[in-house]
Amino acid sequence: MRQGGNVQHTPSATVEHVSLAELLGGRRGAVDASLPPLAFVLAWLVAGHSIVWGAVVAVAVSAVIGVFRLLRGQKARAVVLSLAAVIVASAIALYTGRAQDFFLLQLFANMASALVWAGSIVLRWPMLGVVLGAVLGQRTRWRRDPDLLRAYSLASWVWVGQYTVRVVVFGALWATGHVVSLGVARAVLTWPLVALCVAVSGWVLHRALPDGHPGIRHPRAAPRAEG
Give the H or E element holding residue 68.
Answer: helix 51-71
Cβ burial of 10 (10 Å; 0-12, 13-18, 19+) is middle
Name the residue range of residue 151's domain.
10-208
Structural domain count, the chain: 1
pLDDT at residue 184, as a whole number: 95
- Spatial separation of the C-alpha atoms in residues 186 and 164, rounded to whole Å: 14
pLDDT at residue 210, as a whole number: 92
Q: Which residues pair with 3 in a beta bridge?
A: 6
pTM of the predicted protein model: 0.84
Q: Write the CB contacts of 136 (distance below 8 Å, at least 6 apart in sequence).
A: 15, 19, 216, 217
Count other C-beta atoms under 10 Å from residue 120's C-beta: 20
In-domain check, residue 174? yes
In-domain check, residue 17? yes
The predicted-structure confidence for 12-49, as pLDDT tens digits, reads as follows 444 444 446 655 455 676 778 889 999 999 999 999 99
Percent of the chain predicted with pLDDT > 90: 66
pLDDT at residue 26, as a whole number: 58
Q: Who has greater pLDDT, 161 or 11?
A: 161
The predicted-structure confidence for 109-156, as pLDDT tens digits, reads as follows 999 999 999 999 999 999 999 988 888 888 889 999 999 999 999 999
Count other C-beta atoms under 10 Å from residue 17's C-beta: 17
